[in-house]
């Protein structure tokens, strides 16, 4: 019997080396260093201001063929970056300079550092080919739906095909709660200027805030996402925010009442005159046929119907606009 002479070598264990220079601050003369380099550096608000003033290609005599896009400081993404930097939740991102020290990518991140007035850690690339500028930011960025799928929803009892609805329901409920806090100073919140409607539209949470909200409210959003499919198949056009947001809030208050009322709305008894179910159904179907701007108008009336249902009061007469739900007798 022949013996094998082949010796099997042990697999090598790979170790990752730490990023060199990860704790140092970027200096202005580092940007002009020769060669192509990538390093992890802190960028201060003062240096960010100097870079935007002296090195931004809008246009540049050094790189005449390449001009940065217009700065959009009021965009949602820019405001979210500012918020993340202020709260210490910003992850290092790329700041790119050409061989001649001209900024090719990162002007909104630099603006966010200035606006937050806090230094931030960035991946700094110097000595880059200026032609790379036309290939920057051409991919498909991850949406909040994608992030929720990666961090939260994949472990929930919701099919991936329903993730978009779960995002819509949860974000709308989150926005409603934040608008209530902002308008009424509840929970020690700082009152903002403007009406409930304007605060609702102004809601612009970071990815971390959205993820945290979903983790805290899994049962409510999971239930609402699954019944939304039943509402669609049972009522057709009853598939809108004006119905789902109030129902989610009712489930948060009382799961039993929410299940009871939902089945009445989609059941045959929803046609009973002046019942909460019939009024809610009529309101939501009218909203789905009209302009979407009626969302707030209809949702507050649906909330009023639900509050009367909770309190056991008759549905006759005008239904007042309601922004929060309270337990019966509260």
Return the residue matching tokens 């009218």.
286
Query: Which range has the worst mean pLDDT, 11-15, 206-210, 285-289?
Result: 11-15
Give residue 1's pLDDT band: very low, low, confident or very high (50, 70, 90): very low
Question: For residues 103 and 90, what is the distance between their CA atoms, to the nearest angstrom?
Answer: 21
Residues 182, 79 share a domain: no
Helix (H) or strand (E) holding 126: strand 120-128
pLDDT for res 289: 52
Residues 210, 106 share a domain: no
Q: Tell me which residue range forms the domain holding 274.
A: 146-311
Residues 253, 109 share a domain: no
Return contacts of 92-96, CB within 8 angstroms, 24+ apart.
92/40, 92/120, 92/121, 92/122, 92/123, 93/122, 93/123, 94/122, 94/123, 94/124, 94/125, 95/43, 95/122, 95/123, 95/124, 95/125, 96/125, 96/128, 96/132, 96/133, 96/136
Residues 167, 94 share a domain: no
Residues 300, 202 share a domain: yes
Residues 191, 126 share a domain: no
| Single residue among 69, 98, 133 that ends a domain in this structure | 133
- Both tokens of residue 122? 């960035």
Query: Which range has the worst mean pLDDT, 88-92, 117-121, 145-149, 243-247?
Result: 145-149
pLDDT at 139 over 70: no
Mean per-residue pLDDT of the chain: 79
Q: Is residue 140 part of a domain?
A: no
Give residue 17's pLDDT band: very low, low, confident or very high (50, 70, 90): very low
Of all residues in the chain, the percent with pLDDT exceeding 90 is 28
Answer yes or no: are the C-beta atoms of 303 and 246 closer than 8 Å: yes
Q: Is residue 299 part of a domain?
A: yes
Residues 123, 77 share a domain: yes
Residues 79, 40 share a domain: yes
Residues 158, 221 share a domain: yes
Question: What are the tens digits of pLDDT across the range 252-265?
Answer: 999 999 999 998 88
Return the residue matching tokens 């549905």.
315
Q: Is residue 238 part of a domain?
A: yes
227 phi/psi in degrees, rounded to 5: -75, -20
pLDDT for res 250: 96
pTM assigned to the model? 0.65
Name the DSSP class of 124: E
> Which has the higher per-residue pLDDT, 6 or 275?
275
Residues 156, 121 share a domain: no
Return the residue matching tokens 């925010």.
241
> Which has the higher per-residue pLDDT, 50 or 158?
50
pLDDT for res 327: 87
**Overall number of domains in the chain:** 2
Give residue 22's pLDDT band: very low, low, confident or very high (50, 70, 90): very low
User: What is the mean predicted confidence (pLDDT) over 2-28?
Assistant: 53
Q: Is residue 326 part of a domain?
A: no
């Amino acid at each position: 019997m022949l013996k094998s002479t082949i010796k099997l070598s042990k697999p090598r264990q790979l170790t990752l080396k730490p990023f060199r220079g990860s704790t140092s601050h970027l200096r202005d003369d580092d940007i002009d260093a020769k060669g192509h380099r990538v390093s992890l550096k802190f960028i201060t608000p003062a240096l960010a201001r100097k870079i935007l003033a002296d090195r931004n290609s809008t246009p540049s005599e050094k790189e005449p063929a390449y001009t940065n896009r217009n700065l959009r400081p009021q965009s949602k993404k820019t405001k979210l970056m500012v918020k993340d930097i202020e709260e210490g939740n910003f992850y290092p991102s790329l700041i790119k300079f050409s061989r001649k020290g001209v900024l090719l990518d990162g002007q909104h991140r630099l603006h966010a550092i200035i606006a937050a007035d806090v230094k931030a850690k960035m991946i700094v690339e110097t000595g880059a080919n200026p032609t790379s500028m036309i290939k920057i930011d051409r991919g498909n960025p991850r949406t909040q739906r994608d992030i929720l799928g990666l961090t939260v929803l994949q472990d929930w009892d919701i099919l991936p095909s329903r993730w978009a609805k779960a995002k819509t329901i949860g974000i709308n409920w989150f926005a409603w709660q934040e608008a209530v806090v902002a308008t009424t100073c509840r929970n020690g919140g700082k009152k903002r200027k403007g009406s409930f409607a304007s605060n609702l539209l102004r809601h612009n949470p970071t990815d971390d805030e959205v993820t945290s909200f979903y983790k805290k409210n899994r049962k409510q959003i999971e239930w609402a996402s699954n019944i939304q499919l039943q509402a669609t198949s049972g009522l057709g056009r009853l598939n809108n925010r004006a119905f789902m947001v109030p129902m989610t809030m009712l489930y948060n208050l009382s799961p039993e009442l929410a299940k009871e009322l939902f089945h009445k709305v989609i059941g045959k008894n929803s046609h009973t005159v002046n019942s909460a179910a019939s009024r809610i159904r009529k309101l939501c179907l009218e909203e789905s046929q009209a302009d979407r701007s009626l969302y707030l108008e209809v949702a507050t009336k649906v909330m009023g119907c639900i509050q009367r249902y909770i309190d056991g009061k008759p549905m006759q007469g005008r239904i007042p606009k309601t922004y929060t739900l309270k337990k019966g007798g509260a």
